[in-house]
Amino acid sequence: MAITDSSQRSGELARAKIIDTAFEHFARHGYQGSSLGRIATAAGISQSGLLHHFPSKAALLQAVLATRDLRDTVATGITPGNLADLDFTALLTFFTQVVRHNAANRDLVRLAHLTAVEADNPDHPAHGWVTGRQRFLQSLIENALARDATAGTIRSDIDTRTVTELLVATMEGLENQWLLDPGIDMVGSFQRFATHLRTIITAVP
């Protein structure tokens, strides 16, 4: 059994090495600008060795994105399950954590942005990931606002859709600028925006 364990272990190590290398390539060159041959070479494996682990470039991108999601979940300690229970104030605190996490993980942000622009076409292998991610973000905000509306803690004339679009826009648009200029105070600006947004939507007792 020791031999099987060791071979499984070396397979896992090879997979992890390929995913890390592919992560760098996709984050740097995009999906279309990356090649399996160059990823294999950089990972120190033959192309047929790579194809043994991931049958296509599409499968490799999907594995990279799943790894990215897992790292985000581990880093922030929050899973889709417990996110659904947050009210709007708690959600803004969570988003602030995410922005801070992103500010320390440039490649993560770059991969997400590059993939999002590339994958707007339904034929792109990451189309489901990027649209699902956007819908998930929107639904978190909508659920939190609905919960607060029921509790009467936010103003009754809030336009959920506008708040949702502007909140997502602020997070993503600050990232756009910060990718080009790391001097942008992404975390500070987001915190000031979040404080302001919370103030204007809170019901006056």
Asked if residue 107 binds a second copy (CB under 8 A), the reply is no
Cβ atoms of 49 and 84 within 8 Å: the answer is: no
- Name the residue with tokens 């939190």: 144
Asked if residue 188 binds a second copy (CB under 8 A), the reply is yes
How does DSSP assign 78-108, residue by residue?
--HHHHTT--HHHHHHHHHHHHHHHHT-HHH
Find the binder of a second copy among 75, 170, 198, 202 (CB under 8 A): 170
Under rule CB under 8 A, how many of the chain's residues touch a second copy?
42
What's the CA gap between 121 and 130, in Å, rounded? 10
Find the binder of a second copy among 7, 56, 93, 177 (CB under 8 A): 177
What's the CA gap between 136 and 132, in Å, rounded? 6
**Residue 6 or residue 177: which is nearer to a second copy going by CB?**
177
- Name the residue with tokens 């979940």: 73
Closest contact distance (angstroms) between CB of 170 and a second copy is 5
Asked if residue 204 binds a second copy (CB under 8 A), the reply is no
Find the binder of a second copy among 72, 160, 193, 202 (CB under 8 A): 193
Asked if residue 172 binds a second copy (CB under 8 A), the reply is yes
Alpha carbon 122 to its chain's center: 19
**Residue 189 or residue 202: which is nearer to a second copy going by CB?**
189
CA atoms within 13 A on the CB side of 138: 11
Find the binder of a second copy among 36, 168, 198, 202 (CB under 8 A): 168
Find the binder of a second copy among 103, 114, 140, 154 (CB under 8 A): 114
What's the CA gap between 64 and 190, in Å, rounded? 27
